[in-house]
Amino acid sequence: MADGNYLMTRPRVGISSCLLGEEVRYDGGHKRNPVLADILSDQVEWVPVCPEFEIGMDVPREPVRLVGERSAPRMIGEESGRDWTGKMELFCADRVEALSKLEIHGFVLKSRSPSCGLKVPVHDDEGVEAGETSGLFARILREKFPLLPIVEESELEDNKARERWMKKVRTAAIRQTAE
Ligand code: SF4
């Protein structure tokens, strides 16, 4: 193992940026999470990402939802029917590639988001919920980093669960420092 450098460097962790209070949601608001923004901010270096804002969606904007096959859902504007799938998938592939160069050690995703959520409703063509799948960004992130400790913010409310996750993040950072 390398010397104690890892003790001086906070793990680098990606996060859905609305969870830190950035006003990037479809309704113009945020989903600031005090556990993340106040408690964990001293322990990690956040790398904020908002896929929808970063591909050029307006704030505020029309909400989108996932439609079609669970294995290959499309991202569709709820009122206009605009299909964002191709643009979002291209962006996600580039963004996770850039994240791999930053050497992140974990990721916190916003639950239930059609971009960021790990378990998101998918609808049939009539708009009826027909199961669950991952948001487009979450799916590509997981494919790129199968071993990364990835959680939704709702999983970190419990102190013990949060400490277990932080242990995995620290282990990933220490392992990388030792390489
Ligand atoms: S959930 Fe993801 S896509 Fe939606 S506002 Fe938050 S960071 Fe952006």
Domain count, the chain: 1
| Helices and strands per DSSP (H, E), number in the chain | 6, 8
Average pLDDT of every residue of the chain: 94
Q: What does the pLDDT look like over 119-132, one tens digit per residue? A: 999 999 888 999 99
78 C-alpha to ligand 1 centroid (Å): 16
pLDDT band at 1 (very low <50, low <70, confident <90, very high): very low
18 lines ligand 1 (CB under 6 A): yes
In this predicted structure, the answer to whether residue 7 has a pLDDT above a threshold of 70 is no
26 C-alpha to ligand 1 centroid (Å): 8
In this predicted structure, the answer to whether residue 77 has a pLDDT above a threshold of 80 is yes
> Which burial class, exposed, middle or buried, applies to 152 when counting CB atoms under 10 A from its CB (0-12, 13-18, 19+)?
buried
Residue type present at position 71:
S
177 C-alpha to ligand 1 centroid (Å): 30
Structural domain boundaries, residue 21: 5-178
115 lines ligand 1 (CB under 6 A): yes
111 lines ligand 1 (CB under 6 A): no
**CA dist list (Å): 87 to 95, 142, 154:** 12, 19, 28
Quote the percentage of the chain above a pLDDT of 90.
90
Mean of pLDDT values over 27-55: 97
Residue 83, helix vs strand vs coil: strand
Q: What does the pLDDT look like over 144-162, one tens digit per residue? A: 999 999 999 999 999 999 9
pTM, entire model = 0.94
